[in-house]
Amino acid sequence: MTARPNRPEVRTFFHEPTNTAAHLVWDPTTKAAAIIDSVLDYDAAAGRTDTAFADRILAGVAEEGVQVAWILETHAHADHLSAAPYLKDRTGAPIGMGSRIVEVQRVFRPIFHATDLNPDGGQFDRLFDDEETFPLGNLTVRVLHTPGHTPACATYVIGDAAFVGDTLFMPDYGTARADFPGGDARTLYRSIRRVLSLPPATRLFLCHDYKAKGRDHYAWETTVAEERAANVHVHDGITEDEFVAMREARDRTLKMPALIIPSIQVNMRAGRMPPPEADGNVYLKIPVNRL
- pLDDT per position in the chain (291 positions), as tens? 455 778 999 999 999 999 999 999 999 999 999 999 999 999 999 999 999 999 999 999 999 999 999 999 999 999 999 999 999 999 999 999 999 999 999 999 999 999 999 999 999 999 999 999 999 999 999 999 999 999 999 999 999 999 999 999 999 999 999 999 999 999 999 999 999 999 999 999 999 999 999 999 999 999 999 999 999 999 999 999 999 999 999 999 999 999 999 999 999 999 999 999 999 999 999 999 887
245-282 in b/e form (b: 16+ CB < 10 A) is ebbeebeeeeeebebebbbbbbbbbbbbbbeeeeeeee
φ and ψ at 262, to 5 degrees?
-70, -35
Helix (H) and strand (E) counts in the chain: 7, 14
Partners of residue 10 on adjacent β-strands: 25
d(CA 66, CA 222): 24
C-alpha 222, offset from chain centre:
16
Domains of the chain listed by start with CATH number:
9-210+218-265 (3.60.15.10)
d(CA 125, CA 253): 37
The pTM is what?
0.96
